[in-house]
Amino acid sequence: MTPIQLADRDWAIGGTHTPLAVIAGINVLEDEGLSLEVGTELKRICVDLGLPYVFKASFDKANRSSITSFRGPGLKAGLAHLARIKAALDVPICTDVHEPDQAKAVAAIADIVQIPAFLCRQTDLVVAIARETQAAGGVIHVKKAQFLAPWDTKNIIAKIGEAAPDVGVILCERGSSFGYNNLVVDMLGIGAMHDLGVPVTIDATHAVQLPGADPRTAGASTGGRREGVPIIAKAAVASGADGVFLEFHIDPDAALCDAPSCLPLSSARDLLSTLKRVREAVQG
C-alpha cells in the first residue's frame, strides 16, 4: 500500500514503515481556549513521540439525540475557529461535513474532510465531498457506518473514485451495532478494509459509545465506557490499524458532547506512547 501524504505537510498514513498517524482533538468546538489547550498539548506529545498529528473537532454535531443538545458554533463561525487553530498551532485540520453544500467551504479549511458514519452511503454528500476535497488537495476520512460490514465499504471507495479519481481515501473503524444500545468492534474488519487497498484508522472514542443509553439523561443522550478507549485503541493498532482517532477534554465529564466516551487530556501522553510501541512491535 502506498502511503497517503497530506500536501505540504509532514503527515502520512499507510504503508509498511510509516509511524502511527494521529487524528485527535475534541468532539465538538466549545470555546477557543479549550481548542488551543488541547491542540497544543497533543501536538507537543506527538512531536516528542515522532507521530504525525492532525487536530480534529466538529463545528456541528447534526446527529444529537435531543433537539436541545449542544451542537457547536455552526459552519461559518466553526470554520473561522478552525482556521485560527490551524494557523496558531501550524497543524493540519480534520472536520466533518453533513450537507453537500458545506463541502466546498470545509475543503478549503480542512486538510482531512470526514464523512460521518451515518451518512457514508448518501451519494450526493459523498460525491460533493469527493469533488471538493480533490479540488482543494485534501484527503477524505470515511467513518464506516455502524450498520455496514467492513468489506461493504468497497462501494463507498468506488463511489468516491468515480467522482474524484485522484483523491486519497482513509477508512475508519468505529464499531458495529450489536443488539440495542451497544457497539462492538470486530478487529478482523481492519484487515478486511486494508484488503481494499486503503489505510485504516480506529475511532476508539466512538467505538465505546452506548447509543441512547446515558443514565444521566434517562436515555435522552448517548452513554459510553471511557475506560474501554485504550483497550480498543491498543487492540486495533495490534491488528494493523495505521492511525488512531481520539477525543480528549480538560474535564471530560463537563464536555458538551459525548462526555462519557472522551478521555482526560492528562492521559494522552501515556496512551499515545503505548500505541507507538504497539505499532512498532507490529511493524517488527
Q: Which of 56, 61, 144, 276 is catalytic?
A: 61
Q: Identify whether the C-beta of residue 47 lies closer than 8 Å to the C-beta of residue 19.
A: no
Indicate if 182 belongs to the active site.
no
Read out DSSP for 146-194? TTS-GGGGHHHHHHHHHH-TT-EEEEEE--EE-SSS-EE--THHHHHHH
Q: What angle do CA 126, 3, 45 make, to 5 degrees?
A: 95
Tell me 273's DSSP state: H
Instruction: Reply yes or no on whether 27 is catalytic.
Output: yes
The three cell numbers of residue 135 are: 479540488
Q: Which of 27, 96, 144, 242 is catalytic?
A: 27
3 state DSSP class of 96: strand
Grid cell 478486511 in the structure block, residue: 192
Give the Å distances, CA to CA, from 115 to 156, 174, 212, 253, 275: 10, 13, 22, 27, 25
Residues contacting residue 225 through CB under 8 Å, at least 6 positions apart: 208, 210, 260, 261
Contact 49, 245 (CB under 8 A): no
What are the C-alpha distances in Å from 168 to residues 45, 114, 200, 267? 26, 12, 12, 31
C-alpha distance from residue 215 to each of 149, 167, 225, 240 (Å): 29, 42, 12, 34
DSSP 8-state secondary structure symbol assigned to residue 116? P
Residue 56 known to be catalytic: no
Q: CA quadruple 203, 209, 157, 161: dihedral positive or negative?
A: negative
Catalytic amino acids?
A: 27, 61, 258
